[in-house]
Chain A
Amino acid sequence: EAGVAQSPRYKIIEKRQSVAFWCNPISGHATLYWYQQILGQGPKLLIQFQNNGVVDDSQLPKDRFSAERLKGVDSTLKIQPAKLEDSAVYLCASSLERLGKVVAKNIQYFGAGTRLSVL
């Protein structure tokens, strides 16, 4: 079974530029998560989708970050314009759980992440 795919693996940009990250979840996984992990910290949830609907985006800085999950499969996360403090690893994860079907363990499977450096 293929895992969660993310690209690119690394990205270096200057502040005020824009950047986009792509994620392809595990086939059949209804829920997709984007996390920001700053060096030395735990991952922080930015946005959670179930199929193509947003479940939680309370911690997404909506003035500069946007995300979409068209057709309930792949997802993109965009930052425009980037700030120095956006330097982090952006992790995508997916899980089986969906509305109307609770999965007891609901394990999230993580991709390798995209390491973003904003100069």
Chain B
Amino acid sequence: ELKVEQNPLFLSMQEGKNYTIYCNYSTTSDRLYWYRQDPGKSLESLFVLLSNGAVKQEGRLMASLDTKARLSTLHITAAVHDLSATYFCAKDGQNFVFGPGTRLSVLP
């Protein structure tokens, strides 16, 4: 059974700082996704990582995938308040599984 874990679950950081969210998964399978969810809103796709070593960047967010370590990271550079949200990683395999989410608060 595919399991997806994230850490940290809660992250409070100051504007301008860098930080990394980690996503571990239990089985080898295709495609790793990152989604963002604002409070009371639905989910928005950020990145899809297709293969080992894949790196995607959009603005202050960069995602990477290491299939051998079964690990994906979401790196935040010089955080701004607008990045405050919950970030989910998700994996598809036999079925589609989301991680528990990392609730990020960026403080001024």
Contact = CB atoms under 8 A, between A and B. Distances in A.
Interface string B18-56: 000000000000010100000001111100101000000
Contacts of B66: none
Interface in A95-114: 104-113
Interface string B86-103: 001010101111111100
Interface residues of A, number: 23
A105 B50 contact: yes
B95 A58 contact: yes
Contact of A107 (B4, B45, B97, B100): B45
B50 A43 contact: no
Contacts of B95: 45, 48, 56, 58-59
B43 A107 contact: no
A85 B96 CA distance: 22
Contacts of A64: none
Interface in B67-107: 88, 90, 92, 94-101
Interface residues of B, number: 21
Given A108-B45, A109-B45, A41 B96 contact: no
Given A106-B31, A106-B92, A107-B48, A91 B99 contact: no
A42 B50 contact: no
Contact of A42 (B41, B48, B98): B98
B101 to A, nearest CB: 5
Given A42-B90, A56-B95, A58-B95, 17 more contacts: A33-B96, A41-B100, A42-B98, A43-B43, A43-B88, A44-B98, A45-B95, A56-B94, A91-B42, A91-B43, A93-B43, A105-B48, A106-B31, A106-B92, A107-B45, A112-B41, A112-B42
Interface of B: 4, 31, 33, 41-45, 48, 50, 88, 90, 92, 94-101
